[in-house]
A and B are shown apart, each in its own frame.
Chain A
Amino acid sequence: MANFVGGICTSHNGALMHGWDYQLREDPIWTPLFESYDPVRQWIIDKKVDVLFFVFNDHVSNFFFDCYPTFAIGIAEQYEHADEGSGPRDLAVPYGDVPFSRYMADYLIRDEFDLTVCQEMKLDHGIMGPTPYMLDQPWPVKFVPFCVNVIQHPIPSVKRCWKLGKSIRKAIEAYPEDINVAVVGTGGLSHELQGTNFGRIELDWDNEFMDKFEFEPESMLDWDVKEFMDRGGSESAETVMWFAMRGAMSKKVKRIHRNLYRGMLTGMAVLVFEDAE
């Protein structure tokens, strides 16, 4: 049977693309950001992770508003890199795990998550922003992309994403193949890109949020998305995707890693949890 090894949450943004594409690790401003992913890379190696299940969002790179799915899962053999304005990035090919992806789509739809199923998906920085920091290339894992609409409101609630995480967990543990799977939630934390407060960052809230997220996530399940936007800026609506990861975990978690870095436009966080019990 498949083994759920734990969860990762990470911000995703344009800065991560920039830092990687220009190889800025040795730049002292960037060094702590790069280093904050080293423990994640090591954890993925130590846990012999075979598949990363990414709960992420597209930034109108693959999907357009002619048909914008609320939940969409990729079931492809491999995925292309999106062109976000400067051509597709020079990164290794992300390969999928077709039988596992198809199984997950099947399980989740039967479990009342009505998914859009995609045989092609171009991946943008929602996945490929942080990925080069936490994995060597060629990628040592297979990818399952699970895309959530968090940009055209209304978007799925915190509770919906939490329940999605619970369903993802059940599905993984019922999968008959012997593979190690980790769930990754991307996005957040504080940032605001639309309007006169462009660049708003709320570091105190980001740290407080990560405390609550670790110890009492259920206290936030009934929050409206707007609550997050008020506290952390309009684009921190993305934080709902973290709850898919947290919902997949046990009530009590063992923190393996946590870091918050202030980027130019984003409170950039990364954390790794394992089940405590």
Chain B
Amino acid sequence: MSEKWKKVEDIKTPPGPVTFTMEHSQNGYRMNAICYSLKQEENRKKFREDYEQYMAEFGLSEFEKDLVRSRDWLKMIHYGVSPYLIGKMAQCFDLSFMDWGAFMRGEQAKDFMERNIPLLKNYNKDDR
């Protein structure tokens, strides 16, 4: 699967949902592994200080490094990075779950949240 992409730009991002399968999991294995390592505070600190060095020490391929550098979270999802692990990396770039999620929609978290905040309430049949 990874063979079919030479450059990050090659990763297609058709609209709609992605189902994280074993194939995604195998494809994105090292990307997922580097994100998983960030569940430890000392690693988060190192990543924040110099993520280039962190990636080099982790032994990511140039393709994978470019994918991190792109911070294109939608491409990462299509490549096979689990959303729960993307969150751990995004956080080290000072991006919230809403930030990288809204990015996939092609919008800013601020706009997404402003639109949705008025909708936050109970939706039981009796409430309407």
Measured CA separation A233–B104 after assembly (Å): 15
Flag if A234 contacts B84 (CB, 8 Å): no
CB neighbours of A154 from chain B (8 A): 21-22
Whether A229 sits at the interface, judged by CB under 8 Å, is yes
Contact yes or no, B84 A151, CB < 8 A: yes
In this assembly, does A223 line the interface, its C-beta being within 8 Å of a C-beta of chain B? no
Q: Which of A151, A199, A261 contacts B20 (CB 8 A)?
A: A151
Q: In whole angstroms, what is the CA distance A207 to B124 when docked?
A: 7
The answer for the CA separation of A68 and B32 in the assembled complex, in Å, is 13
Which residues of chain A are within 8 angstroms of B125 by Cβ–Cβ distance? 207
In chain A, positions 147-187 with a C-beta closer than 8 Å to chain B are 151-154
How big is chain A's contact interface, by range?
Answer: 35 or more
Say yes or no: B17 contacts A233, CB within 8 Å: yes
CB pair A229–B121 under 8 Å, yes or no, is: no
Please tell me if the beta carbons of B117 and A29 are within 8 angstroms of each other in the complex.
yes
Q: Does B29 contact A (CB under 8 A)?
A: yes
Contact at B124–A60, with CB atoms within 8 Å?
Answer: no
Report the separation of the CA atoms of residues A152 and B38 in the bound assembly, to the nearest whole angstrom: 20
Which listed residue, A192, A198, A261, A264, touches B123 by the CB 8 Å rule? A261
Contact of B36 among A29, A36, A64 (CB under 8 A): A64
> CA–CA, A229 to B112, complex, Å?
22
What A residues does B87 contact at CB under 8 A? Answer: 85
For the residues of A in contact with B, the DSSP-based class is loop
Q: What residues on A are CB-neighbors of B116 within 8 Å?
A: 199, 264
- Asked if A193 lies at the interface with its beta carbon under 8 angstroms from chain B, I say yes
Give the number of residue pairs across the A-B interface with Cβ within 8 Å.
122
Contact A198 B20 (CB under 8 A): no
Main secondary structure of the interface of B (DSSP, over half): helix
Tell me the count of chain B residues lying within 8 A, CB to CB, of chain A.
47
Residue pair B40, A83 in contact (C-beta under 8 Å):
yes
B26-58 interface (Cβ within 8 A of A): 29, 32-33, 36, 38-41, 44
Residues of A within 8 Å of B123, CB to CB, are 203, 206-207, 260-262, 267
Given A85-B87, A196-B106: A261 and B25 within 8 A (CB)? no
**Judging by beta carbons under 8 Å apart, are A60 and B17 in contact?**
no
Given A14-B97, A64-B33, A64-B36, A195 and B120 touching (CB < 8 A)? no
B32 interface neighbour in A60, A192, A233, A265, Cβ under 8 Å:
A60
- Residues in A with CB closer than 8 Å to B32 are 60, 64-65
Q: Which residues of A are found within 8 Å of B12, using beta-carbon distances?
A: none
Known: A60-B32, A83-B39, A83-B40. A197 touches B17 (CB 8 A): yes
CB distance from B114 to the nearest CB of A (A): 11
Is A263 positioned at the interface, with any CB of B under 8 Å from its CB?
Answer: yes
A157 → chain B closest CB, angstroms:
15
Q: How far is the CA of A207 from the CA of B83 in the complex (A)?
A: 26
CB pair B25 A65 closer than 8 Å: yes
**How far is A171 from B117 in the complex, measured between Cα atoms in Å?**
44
Q: Are B18 and A195 in contact (CB under 8 A)?
A: yes
The answer to the question of A99 belonging to the interface, with a C-beta cut-off of 8 Å to chain B, is: no
Closest Cβ–Cβ distance, residue A178 to chain B (whole Å): 37
Say whether B119 faces chain A, with CB atoms less than 8 Å apart. Answer: yes
Offer 10 A-B interface pairs, CB within 8 angstroms, sorted by A.
Answer: A60-B82, A85-B38, A85-B39, A152-B22, A193-B83, A195-B18, A195-B74, A198-B104, A207-B124, A264-B117
A residues with CB within 8 A of B? 14, 29, 32, 36, 59-61, 64-65, 68, 82-87, 151-154, 192-199, 203, 206-207, 229, 233-234, 258-265, 267
Other CB < 8 Å A-B pairs besides A83-B41, A234-B19, A260-B122, 18 of them? A29-B121, A60-B85, A83-B40, A85-B38, A85-B88, A85-B91, A153-B21, A193-B83, A194-B17, A194-B18, A195-B17, A196-B74, A199-B116, A207-B123, A261-B120, A261-B121, A262-B119, A267-B123
